[in-house]
Amino acid sequence: MGRTGISEDVKRRLYAESMGRCMNPTCQKELFSVSGDIIERAHIDAYCETADNSFENLVILCPNCHTEFDKNAAFTSDEVKSWKTIRQQEIQRLFSKKFSSFDDLKEVVTPLLLENKTIFEKYYLGDCKDLWDRFETRILINNRKLKLLFEENTHLFQRHSEKHYSNLAIISDFILHVKEFELTRPDEEKIRQVLFPAEINSIFGIAPVRDYLLPLTESLEDLISKLKSKNMFDHICMGTEHPYITIKNGAELEKVFLDDTPRIRQLYYDYKCFRSAKVRLESLNFALKCIRRHGIPFKFIDDSNLREISIGDRKIVFVYEYCLSKAALLALCPEKNSVIVNLHNWNGASCISREAYDISNKLDVQLLTMDDAFYEYLEEIKLEQ
């Protein structure tokens, strides 16, 4: 009667356990090379005596250590069994490290995620089944490392009571994905790779996702101020379909899109920039897009205050008020000849109170709502250019 094969889920658990090295602690030979792997699965208690293909009775060895164990009896079964415990302790020591900052964690995590991404895109999406089957083991090993790192450093991730708004929830989904990834999956189920949350790569700045603009204009302003204090801010581009900021990363410039939501959330969390939103960013960006569509150049008076722009010698201030009152207008202390635009636009001209309109004449400022009045004003500027 033939030998029963080792189940796929046991193989995958063994690969993850080994971390890609011979389990003999005095050997630890790398089992992967450019020409392929040299992984060998050894039974701790002989299969001919036990018919035991369980995870507990199997161990990953290099060919030399496998021969020494099976043929030369260089190690006892109890000794080999202890290697599993030793490797588990080594893994815990190396990858259950608690970091004090997200940047420190990122330095360790990013190479692992990048290697997984490269393998998946090159071999799985590239429809190279033989190479995918070979290199998928690397993903299993990297995933085990990532799982341990994430479990020990949950304090470094932005969190929210609503899962949809939480980076920590994305991390939890990834940990679940790692556990599922190590289970048996027939060939027809390998499409389950899509369960990998792409937002992970966004959080670590590897690949952006297209999501939505967080409404927090004041949080973005605070982030820019803090990046400036560290000489890390380069510039901001708004009034486009995908607005972005450019951050100095050493000698390189990193473009961070504002609709790459997990990445932006993490930056706000790292720099402690979460602020209550008074001006909604998507409304501000819409108004700036209108200005661009009219071919009118503008610039921020101060990058740390995105609510004020200049067009030539005109100063435009954006607010977001359900109904701009006289008191709110006076609190702005507007300069003469400036223009105040209320982005709220719930009911046209009624978004500005009659008292505010009346006092604006005395202050020598112009009040606009985001309706025909704003577009007519842009047309006037365009004709003057």
Q: For the residues 140-155, what does the mean pLDDT come to?
A: 93
Cα 327 to Cα 340: distance, rounded to the nearest angstrom: 14
Cα 244 to Cα 259: distance, rounded to the nearest angstrom: 8
When comparing pLDDT for 159 and 124, which is higher? 159
Is 158 a residue whose pLDDT tops 90?
yes
* Contact present, 147 and 178 (Cβ < 8 Å): yes
Cα 380 to Cα 292: distance, rounded to the nearest angstrom: 14
**Nearest CA to 14 among 5, 22, 4, 25?**
22
Structure token digits, residue 173 = 């989904």
Q: Which amino acid belongs to residue 369? A: T
What is the average pLDDT value for the chain, to the nearest integer?
90
pLDDT confidence of residue 11: 87
Is 385 a residue whose pLDDT tops 80?
no
Cα 209 to Cα 199: distance, rounded to the nearest angstrom: 7
Any idea which fold 281-384 has? Answer: Trna Endonuclease; Chain: A, domain 1 (3.40.1350)
Cα 27 to Cα 57: distance, rounded to the nearest angstrom: 20
pLDDT confidence of residue 35: 63
Is 187 a residue whose pLDDT tops 90?
no
Percentage of residues in the chain with pLDDT exceeding 90?
A: 68
pLDDT confidence of residue 34: 59
pLDDT digits (tens, 9 = 90+) for 347-384: 888 899 999 999 999 999 999 999 888 999 999 998 88
pLDDT digits (tens, 9 = 90+) for 303-319: 999 999 999 999 999 99
Q: Looking at 14-23, 133-142, 153-162, which range is the least confident one?
A: 133-142
According to DSSP, the β-strands at 299-302 and 252-257 are unpaired
pLDDT confidence of residue 339: 96
When comparing pLDDT for 119 and 188, which is higher? 119
CA 369 to chain centre: 36
* Contact present, 339 and 316 (Cβ < 8 Å): yes
Task: For 240-282, give the DSSP string.
Answer: SSS-EEEEEETTEEEEEETT-HHHHHHHHHHTT-----SSBHH
pLDDT confidence of residue 193: 46
Structure token digits, residue 12 = 């995958």
pLDDT digits (tens, 9 = 90+) for 282-341: 999 999 999 999 999 999 999 999 999 999 999 999 999 999 999 999 999 999 999 999
Q: For the residues 126-150, what does the mean pLDDT come to?
A: 85
pLDDT band with cut points at 50, 70 and 90 for residue 124: confident
pLDDT digits (tens, 9 = 90+) for 160-178: 999 999 999 999 999 988 8
Q: Which amino acid belongs to residue 23? A: M
pLDDT band with cut points at 50, 70 and 90 for residue 194: very low
Q: For the residues 16-30, what does the mean pLDDT come to?
A: 90
For 365, what's the count of Cα atoms within 13 Å in the CB-facing half-sphere?
A: 23
Locate the domains of the chain by residue range.
Answer: 8-95, 102-203, 217-270, 281-384
Cα 279 to Cα 363: distance, rounded to the nearest angstrom: 23
Cα 298 to Cα 378: distance, rounded to the nearest angstrom: 12
Is 130 a residue whose pLDDT tops 90?
no
Any alpha helices (H) in the chain, and if so which ranges?
A: 8-18, 47-50, 63-70, 77-95, 102-119, 129-152, 167-181, 199-203, 217-229, 261-270, 281-293, 326-332, 354-363, 372-384
When comparing pLDDT for 3 and 308, which is higher? 308
pLDDT digits (tens, 9 = 90+) for 107-117: 999 999 999 99
CA 79 to chain centre: 43
Q: For the residues 206-228, what does the mean pLDDT come to?
A: 95
pLDDT band with cut points at 50, 70 and 90 for residue 262: very high
Percentage of residues in the chain with pLDDT exceeding 70?
A: 96
Q: What's the burial of 24, exposed, middle or buried (CB within 10 Å: 0-12/13-18/19+)?
A: buried
